[in-house]
A and B are shown apart, each in its own frame.
Chain A
Amino acid sequence: MNASVVVFPGSNCDRDVLYALGKIAGIPAVPVWHKDPVLPEDTDLVVLPGGFSYGDYLRCGAMAARSPIIQAVREHARRGGLVLGICNGFQVLTEAGLLPGALLANSNLEFICSPCLLKVERSDTPFTNAYPEGTLVQFPIAHHEGLYFLPERELQKLEDNRQVVFRYAAADGSAGAQHSPNGSLNGIAGIVNSSGNVLGLMPHPERASEKLLGGTDGLGMWYSIKSWLEGGAR
């Protein structure tokens, strides 16, 4: 079981993810430079970490999505390999066409850095099988472009396909647009592709993986991935 964490110029959560995977969850993880045309041969999971790849120039994630490594990530995803995009990584996945939609500027025009409650809408994915469906978790968000947008008809299709995995929520368990800190449509914080092996989310599970840093709700994602790759969760 091996993970590759792609490093773009401007990535700044790559080390946090490497630490969470390798040191906390026990999934061996190596950094991979964005100019590499191939992934390490034994890669099971690819993580596109958060940050400001290419300074967010043109559109967030636009340039990173055209990096040499992305062709290899696309191929990995096509073969059914796991791909996880966090924050800027989510933006890169939408720009690369590996996930539907786009992330627009937050509706309040502010950079939001804050803990956030999320409802786990699906526990049958490789990334969330350790959480019972409906679990509330707290991950921090830190972004300026996190408003998930998709035209209405496609948004309905996304909901009908049950592709929404994380939704912004409140302590009473309600979830939806009214709890979006960033104006995200339908309260969407994270989605999967139709085959379920590519997940993107704006909140940061790697920043909720150690008590010292304020919480461990993110651990469930690493353990989900681990047991999925070990074959136990299928």
Chain B
Amino acid sequence: MKFRARILVSLKEGVLDTQGKAVLVSLKNLGFDVVEEVRIGKSIEIVLSAGSAEEAEKKVESMCEALLVNPLIETGRVSLEAIG
């Protein structure tokens, strides 16, 4: 089976997000006074084949551990969909 995994990588709370800070200032300058906080992360999409959804999720989790997420500063949230 084929799966598409989406990994949402976010900076952990307490880790300074300079990009988010700059974007916050820009949004405020544009008049969006309601904005209180901006955090910027990244989204990684992976298409993979695996025998089952559980197996696919396990594989993606180990990819996060091996390379995609630095656990000192980031968290990764995995979501999965079967695509055939």
Residues of A within 8 A of B (CB): 58-59, 62-63, 66, 95, 101-102, 104-109, 147, 149-151, 183
- Chain B residues within an 8 Å CB radius of A183: 16, 18
CB distance from A65 to the nearest CB of B (A): 9
B73 CB within 8 Å of chain A: yes
Q: Determine if A102 and B67 form an interchain contact, defined as CB atoms under 8 angstroms apart.
A: no
Q: Determine if B18 and A109 form an interchain contact, defined as CB atoms under 8 angstroms apart.
A: yes
Q: Determine if B19 and A104 form an interchain contact, defined as CB atoms under 8 angstroms apart.
A: no
The distance in angstroms between the C-alpha atoms of A101 and B72, with both chains bound, is 7
- Chain A residues within an 8 Å CB radius of B16: 104, 107, 147, 149, 183
B27 CB within 8 Å of chain A: no
CB distance from A22 to the nearest CB of B (A): 34
- Chain B residues within an 8 Å CB radius of A66: 66-67
- Chain B residues within an 8 Å CB radius of A62: 67, 70
12 contacts across the A-B interface (CB closer than 8 A): A58-B67, A95-B70, A102-B72, A104-B15, A106-B18, A107-B18, A109-B19, A109-B22, A147-B18, A149-B16, A149-B72, A149-B73
CB distance from A38 to the nearest CB of B (A): 22
Nearest residue (CB) in B for A61 is B70
CB distance from A189 to the nearest CB of B (A): 17
Q: Determine if A102 and B18 form an interchain contact, defined as CB atoms under 8 angstroms apart.
A: no
Interface bracket on B: 10 to 19
The distance in angstroms between the C-alpha atoms of A147 and B21, with both chains bound, is 15
The distance in angstroms between the C-alpha atoms of A101 and B71, with both chains bound, is 11
- Chain A residues within an 8 Å CB radius of B22: 109
B84 CB within 8 Å of chain A: no
The distance in angstroms between the C-alpha atoms of A102 and B67, with both chains bound, is 14
Nearest residue (CB) in B for A100 is B72
Nearest residue (CB) in A for B74 is A59
The distance in angstroms between the C-alpha atoms of A189 and B67, with both chains bound, is 25
- Chain B residues within an 8 Å CB radius of A151: 14, 72
Q: Determine if B70 and A105 form an interchain contact, defined as CB atoms under 8 angstroms apart.
A: no
